[in-house]
Each structure stands twice: as structure tokens, then as C-alpha cells.
Amino acid sequence: FSVAVAAGRAQVRQDPSLETTEGSGINISCSHPQIQTNEWIHWYRQLPGHSPELVALTAKAAKELPDNAGQLWVSADRRSSSLWLRRPRRGDAAVYYCAL
């Protein structure tokens, strides 16, 4: 399945699309080099025909996703983050947004 990605604001950058096979882990990266001290990192996904939903957010620490689905990872300088989906299924095909 395909995973589309989109930048939530001009200050974040993501690859336009990624693909994986069902059950094969995928890492969705986001660059946010101008992040401010007080900003949190948000990851959303938007399934076809639905509104965006929050997947994970953090200030700086790595976070496990619900149901052991993967992890949100943040670099030590907070200038990049990535959402790792452990075993994505077809139902996880969506647009994934990174935002501050």
C-alpha cells in the first residue's frame, strides 16, 4: 500500500510519498529544523474520507504508539522526528502529517 505524507506547516518537510508491503515496517520521517523550545511535535493521519486523527505527540521523548503499533522517535536536537509503523496493514494506508 502507499503512504502519502504532507507537511502541516511550512517549517516542516516530509517526503511526498512512501510505499511498503503489508506487514513490513515503514519509517516516515519529518524535518523541522526551526523548532522552538516550547513547540510540541504532532503526528496525524488522515484515512480516505475521514478527518485527520492524532497518532502521537511529544515534546522530546520517544513515544510508543497504542496497541504496540510502532513508535514516534525524536532526534536529540529535536530537529527531526520519525513515525515508525511496526507492521502496517492495508487499513493504515493514509496521509500522515507532521506538525509543530
Rounded CA separation 54/99 (Å): 11
| Paired sense of beta strands 95-99 and 2-7, if any | parallel
CATH of domain 25-99: 2.60.40.10
Question: What's the whole-number average pLDDT of the chain?
Answer: 87
Q: Say how many C-beta atoms besides its own lie within 10 A of residue 16's C-beta.
A: 8
Query: pLDDT band at residue 15, thresholds of 50, 70 and 90?
Result: confident
pLDDT tens per residue, range 62-87: 999 988 899 999 999 999 999 999 99
Give pTM, 2 decimals: 0.83
Q: Which residue has the cell 529535536?
A: 78
